Chain A
Amino acid sequence: MTEVIHIEKKNVKFLQKVVELSGEEVTMCEQCGICTTSCPMAEEMDVSPAGIMRAVQIGDESVVESKAIWFCASCFTCTVRCPRGIDLAKVTEALRQLTLRKNVDHIDLDEVKKESLPAIALVSALRKFTG
């Protein structure tokens, strides 16, 4: 089944929001896919990094619900390789912010067994899963 996306004003607004939050001109992406092949987490992602960029370009808000943006390790390999000079890590962070700013806790600190987790994972979880 091929999904149909009807482009409406809200799609454009979503793109503008991401551009504003990230400070990156997402429309500059030429969809070469170098980010995807450079990404150490790409195989775990439900949407590839280049796919995320395309989704933002056409204003497909479902990308915010993707798991991929939370798999991003912020390693910046995509950023240093992008031939158009786009900072993809900032775009992904902007997408995370859209959820984070809703101020919803997805994780209860009291329920986390602190000794069972490396400290860095805890910090990462705090950063990604709490508002």
Chain B
Amino acid sequence: MRIGVYVCHCGGNISDIVDVDEVAQFASHLPDVVVVRSISHMCSESGQKAIVDDVGEYRLDRVVVAACSPQFQGTTFEKTLLKAGLKPNMVEMANIREQSAWPHYEMPEKATEKAKVLTAMAVEKIRRAKPVERESMKIGKNVLVIGGGIAGIQASLDLANAGFNVFLVEKSPTIGGHMAQLSRTFPTEDCASCILTPKMADVAEHPNIHLLTYSEILEVSGSVGNFKVRIKMKPRYVDESRCTACRECEKVCPVSVPDEFNLGMTKRKAIYLPSSIATPHSHVIDADACLGIVPLRCGLCEQVCEANAINYDDMPKYINLDIDTIIVATGFDIFNAKLKPQYGYGKFQNVITALELERMIVEAAEGHIIRPIGKDIAFIQCVGSRDKQVGNLYCSRICCMYATKLASLLKRADPSRDIYIFYTDLRAYGKGFEEYYRNAQNLGIKFIRGRPGELMENPENKKVIVRVEDTLTRKIIEKEFDLVVLSVGLVPSKGTIEIAEMLKLPRSSDGFLKEAHPKFRPVDTPIEGIFVAGTAQGPKDIPDTVAQASAAAARAITLMNKGEFEMSPIKAIIDEEKCDGCGECIKHCPVDAIKMNGKAKINIPICKGCGACISSCPRDAIDLKIFSNDEIMAEIEAALKDKKAGEKRILIFADNICTYTLADGVGTAKMRYSSDAFIIRVPSSSRVTPKMMLKAFEMGADGIFLGECEEAVSPYPKTLKVIEENVKKVKDALSKAGIEPDRVQYSPFVTVMFPKFVNIANKMAEIANKYGNIPEEKRKKLNIVEVVE
């Protein structure tokens, strides 16, 4: 075995704190290490070349890079190893930047000591690693696009044009989404429906797109290349292929209900065309509003339908699809303005939302005046955005420009109008936005920097009184307006939240879907084969949405185009000689990847490699191919070796999705936590068995903590339960040996819980300090304590 160790300076990020030469010196004495280098930027071309050269010159078969997080540069070095002719899993990274230099920047000596131990852990781990062949899997060309707004439309068209088979599922009776509701689009003022309808028609006519409107997804199982999707097509009661949209049925229908396309400001019939640009261009019967279909209570529409399109016997249809990749384009909802009661929305008749104004403008252009707009108009910005009081800290990004657009349209239509926009910060960041803002000011629209506290209604004329501090003159402005428009922000749509739960997609702290990497994988989700486009990922305007939709389509094509793709090498393996077919593991597998055929068999493409099955096996017959029992034990041993008396060592097992990412985030934010805490990366903390934990205590661990994804964001459901059971077993065993059971703990995390992570790392260290080291005689007892089954 011949190992090369490379210590990275990270251009000072590491070397300003950690004594990298001391770490390199230390590493040169570790077993099997034949070459050690300390290099300014390991990830640079010259850094990578050093590895390739050394593999040739020193015949290295394993490499340790002591640098940043493996989540940050792991794949870089895996590729370097491939170039050097080694298997990609023969490199191990010691994360001495996020876990040492940054969180312990105030204690350079401790940071250096910790960096040494982290490096030793990586060396010991890689010594136990076995070269793993990457396996490939066949993949087809079927894509499910969820959501028929502009994002879903664009992604579907790109995929279909590239020759892929698209199933576009939309829950409402027409595609088009929010864009179909808009008047004009900033900053060019194109008519929104005029530029959208050709794309909608393309979708309907494209031979490669199967358009499933008025449909919802009931269930998704399986994984990339092998998703099983069950879809319910709700009954329309109107045959799309026959309906000519002549609207005769609407004339006779006796039922009127609020029209959701106009946000309830107008009425529609129970049989209706969802909008004038609806695609498919067909009526639909709203079964909830209709007087009765089963049994038939009215039947007037059928009598007047010359096309014979109405079918009261229509039933829901259920479709099962085999899907290879999924694009989630489930969009946004507007912020519910009633959650800011001080603005009186829903109570004052002249306070409306911007989307309502959009519909009023479109309808007015078609000759339907929904309500008078008036002369004196105020826009209030950041309603539901950038507001801790409603829990939305983010900027919704589009409101500054849509308010500017609506104000410009109204001012141009009637120059005698007096229009004010009350803003906190005006964000005109996009192409052509600043020029558009200038134009609006040139039109005479007044931008006042101040956020109104509350609105009042003049009881006599129902006008709305706005009182605001002009923060630039420090004077309070008060004025009566005919109309106040609330520039409401964007929130994740109900559908986005439901689909996230169904697909187990993690969401970021703002509630929108989380991307796999904020910079370099902006349209990938952490789950392979599932991509995200548009406002489901975060607030954005139409150009950004379209760009992202095309990007998501391209990423899906990248995965499917070759007809096969490389699977993650982290998979469970069964030792058939040890397995007696008891079936315990099946109960613990969160994704049903184990089948019993006399002995347990792993379904490789489905297995996610969490390792929850390992601790359930009474015969120790299961292991993981990467992150094997041997590798983890070697890391534990190295973390505890050379521990001096009185010194404390806490082991934090961190699942790779949430806790490890969180620890990286804490490090990057330079938040300090106890330098006695050592993080061990695992796919899921459920793979840490009670035996491992007890062995760690026996070897001198002062505390053990298991971090795991919160259920809602975990790609492996049910693992928390496995962890709970395992921790309980360890606590029992500790108690029997007379050791304090709270030395072992676990907790769920999401990636943004920075203070919680810091508190827990410090708390575990405090507990260890309070109790002191575990005396040797008690540790020896652990050896004979049987793990309670």
Name the segment of B383-391, B657-665, B773-781 touching the other chain: B383-391
Name the segment of B51-59, B410-418, B464-472 touching the other chain: B464-472
B386, B389, B425, B452 pick with most chain A CB within 10 angstroms: B389
Bound-state Cα–Cα, A38 to B451, Å: 10
A32, A37, A77 pick with most chain B CB within 10 angstroms: A32
Interface residues of A in 6-59 (CB under 8 A from B): 30-39, 42-43, 47-48, 50-51
Q: Does B109 contact A (CB under 8 A)?
A: no
Q: 1/0 per residue B443-483: CB within 8 Å of A?
A: 00000011111100000000000011111001010000000
Chain A residues within an 8 Å CB radius of B450: 32-33, 36-37
Contact A83-B387, Cβ < 8 Å, known A37-B453, A37-B468 = yes
A78 nearest in chain B by CB position: B453
Interface residues of B in 423-459 (CB under 8 A from A): 424-425, 449-454
Bound-state Cα–Cα, A32 to B468, Å: 10
Q: Are A30 and B389 in contact (CB under 8 A)?
A: no
Bound-state Cα–Cα, A42 to B454, Å: 14
| A-B pairs with beta carbons under 8 A, tally | 66
Instruction: For B476, give its contact among A31, A43, A83, A84 (CB under 8 Å).
Output: A43
Smallest Cβ distance from A24 to chain B, in angstroms? 13
A33, A36, A38, A51 pick with most chain B CB within 10 angstroms: A33
Smallest Cβ distance from B475 to chain A, in angstroms? 9
Q: Does B342 contact A (CB under 8 A)?
A: yes
Contact A37-B471, Cβ < 8 Å, known A82-B389, A83-B451 = no
Contact A48-B469, Cβ < 8 Å, known A33-B450, A84-B388 = yes
Chain B residues within an 8 Å CB radius of A30: 386, 424-425
Q: Does A75 contact B (CB under 8 A)?
A: no
Q: Does B382 contact A (CB under 8 A)?
A: yes
B interface residue count range (under 10 / 10 to 19 / 20 to 34 / 35 or more): 20 to 34
Chain A residues within an 8 Å CB radius of B471: 31-33, 36, 50
Q: Are A38 and B454 in contact (CB under 8 A)?
A: yes
Chain B residues within an 8 Å CB radius of A42: 469, 476
Interface size in chain A (residues, C-beta < 8 A):
23
Q: Are B389 and A37 in contact (CB under 8 A)?
A: no
Q: Are A37 and B454 in contact (CB under 8 A)?
A: yes
Q: Are A33 and B388 in contact (CB under 8 A)?
A: no
Instruction: For A37, give its contact among B386, B449, B469 (CB under 8 Å).
Output: B469
Bound-state Cα–Cα, A37 to B450, Å: 9
Instruction: For A82, give its contact among B388, B470, B474 (CB under 8 Å).
Output: B388
Q: Are B453 and A81 in contact (CB under 8 A)?
A: yes
Q: Are B389 and A33 in contact (CB under 8 A)?
A: no
Instruction: For B451, give its contact among A33, A39, A51 (CB under 8 Å).
Output: A33
Smallest Cβ distance from A36 to chain B, in angstroms? 4
Q: Are A83 and B389 in contact (CB under 8 A)?
A: yes
Instruction: For A83, give its contact among B342, B386, B469, B474 (CB under 8 Å).
Output: B386
Q: Does A131 contact B (CB under 8 A)?
A: no
Chain B residues within an 8 Å CB radius of A38: 453-454
Chain A residues within an 8 Å CB radius of B453: 34-39, 77, 81
Q: Are A83 and B468 in contact (CB under 8 A)?
A: no
Chain A residues within an 8 Å CB radius of B342: 81
Chain A residues within an 8 Å CB radius of B469: 33, 36-37, 42, 48, 50
Chain A residues within an 8 Å CB radius of B452: 34, 37
B382, B425, B453 pick with most chain A CB within 10 angstroms: B453
A30, A37, A84 pick with most chain B CB within 10 angstroms: A37
Chain B residues within an 8 Å CB radius of A50: 469, 471, 474
Bound-state Cα–Cα, A47 to B476, Å: 12
B467 nearest in chain A by CB position: A37
Smallest Cβ distance from A28 to chain B, in angstroms? 10
B386, B388, B469 pick with most chain A CB within 10 angstroms: B469
Q: 1/0 per residue A64-79: CB within 8 Å of B?
A: 0000000000000100
A34 nearest in chain B by CB position: B451
Chain B residues within an 8 Å CB radius of A31: 424, 471
Bound-state Cα–Cα, A82 to B451, Å: 10
Q: Does A109 contact B (CB under 8 A)?
A: no
Bound-state Cα–Cα, A43 to B84, Å: 74
Contact A83-B425, Cβ < 8 Å, known A32-B471, A37-B454 = no
Interface residues of B in 331-373 (CB under 8 A from A): 342
Contact A32-B451, Cβ < 8 Å, known A80-B389, A82-B389, A83-B382 = yes
Q: Are A36 and B389 in contact (CB under 8 A)?
A: no
Contact A51-B389, Cβ < 8 Å, known A33-B450, A34-B451, A38-B454 = no
Q: Are B474 and A81 in contact (CB under 8 A)?
A: no
Bound-state Cα–Cα, A33 to B476, Å: 10
Chain B residues within an 8 Å CB radius of A47: 474
Interface residues of B in 469-502 (CB under 8 A from A): 469-471, 474, 476
Chain B residues within an 8 Å CB radius of A85: 388-389
Q: 1/0 per residue B646-663: CB within 8 Å of A?
A: 000000000000000000
Chain A residues within an 8 Å CB radius of B424: 30-32, 83
Smallest Cβ distance from B755 to chain A, in angstroms? 15
Chain A residues within an 8 Å CB radius of B387: 83
Contact A36-B382, Cβ < 8 Å, known A48-B469, A82-B388, A82-B389 = no
A48-B469, A50-B469 provided; 20 other pairs, C-beta below 8 A? A30-B424, A32-B450, A32-B451, A32-B471, A33-B468, A33-B469, A34-B451, A34-B452, A36-B450, A37-B451, A38-B453, A43-B476, A48-B474, A77-B453, A80-B389, A81-B389, A82-B388, A83-B387, A83-B388, A84-B388
Q: 29 A-B residue contacts at CB 8 Å?
A: A30-B425, A31-B471, A32-B382, A33-B450, A33-B451, A35-B453, A36-B469, A36-B471, A36-B476, A37-B452, A37-B469, A37-B476, A38-B453, A43-B476, A47-B474, A48-B469, A48-B474, A48-B476, A50-B469, A50-B471, A51-B474, A81-B342, A81-B389, A81-B453, A82-B389, A83-B382, A83-B388, A83-B389, A83-B451
Binding site for B on A (CB under 8 A): 30-39, 42-43, 47-48, 50-51, 77, 80-85
Binding site for A on B (CB under 8 A): 342, 382, 386-389, 424-425, 449-454, 467-471, 474, 476
